[in-house]
Structure 1
């Protein structure tokens, strides 16, 4: 039964992952100054460059997941990005007690998303993808 579901489930997984990253990248693009300000607030160097890199990765990576082109690379890049961002922006161990619950929830949500992305990187996009059409 699960063999018959591999392709639709792979497509759904790619679309659901893209639903997180593509809108986030577009929001960074349309609210670029706010994104740079947020990155500045956590003390990262080169916040403008970091914001630009994040929005490009989220938009290009999200689009790649949707169409299934370069899926393994896109998923791995997004997983690494998500893990790094989790430790920087959702450091629940260093926030005031009244913020721990939500921050911890966001941290572990991101850890789970990274796990799903790593599964896509490991198993690929499935046959309903441009990767499959190209023979990748």
Structure 2
């Protein structure tokens, strides 16, 4: 039973990345614009790397294929989004509260990803470890 719960949990944790990545692949120019707006270099390249991270790593975790490594990488990616996109400590007005909530959501997701990295993908995975 716990292996089934772990498999469902893996899919639920990465559902947000798969959904977001699919949306981004439909508008990579918009993603590049958002990245450029934050002053980051090479926005077009970072846009495609973002799409690859969300879809690629998300899919690896969902399938349980190199899930531990993918979970660590996706946790690092998620932490970077807090620093560059949800940096509420440098904002004012309504943006503070909204981005604080987004940052805390990401902290929770990072926790779930680190649990996957710690315990592995479970029995229902393409490569069990």
| Band the TM-score falls in, shorter-chain normalisation | over 0.9
Matching of residue 25 in structure 1 with residue 31 in structure 2? no
Matched, 1:68 2:64: yes
The number of aligned residues is 129
> Please, which of 28, 33, 36 is the counterpart of residue 37 of structure 1?
33
Cα deviation 1:38-58 (Å, max 9, x = unaligned): 000000011111111110111
- 1:101 aligned residue (92, 97, 101): 97
Q: CA deviation at 1:6?
A: 2.0
What is aligned with 1:14? 10
**Structure 2 equivalent of residue 122 of structure 1:** 118
- What TM-score do you get using the length of structure 2 for normalisation? 0.95
Q: Secondary structure of the residue that 1:130 maps to in structure 2?
A: coil
Q: Distance in 1 between matches of 2:94 and 2:14?
A: 31
Deviation at 1:97, TM superposition (A): 2.2
- For 1:131, the equivalent position in structure 2 comes to 127
In the other structure, the counterpart of 2:76 is 80
Shift of 1:20: 0.9
- Please say if 1:113 is aligned against 2:105: no
Computing the radius of gyration over CA atoms, which structure comes out larger, 1 or 2? 1
CA distance in 2, matches of 1:65, 1:18: 7
Structure 2, unmatched stretches of 5+, are: none
Partner of 1:90: 86
TM-align CA RMSD: 1.0
Per-residue deviation at 1:9?
Answer: 1.8
Off by >6 Å, runs of 4+ in structure 1 = none
When the two structures are superposed, what TM-score results if normalisation uses the length of structure 1? 0.91
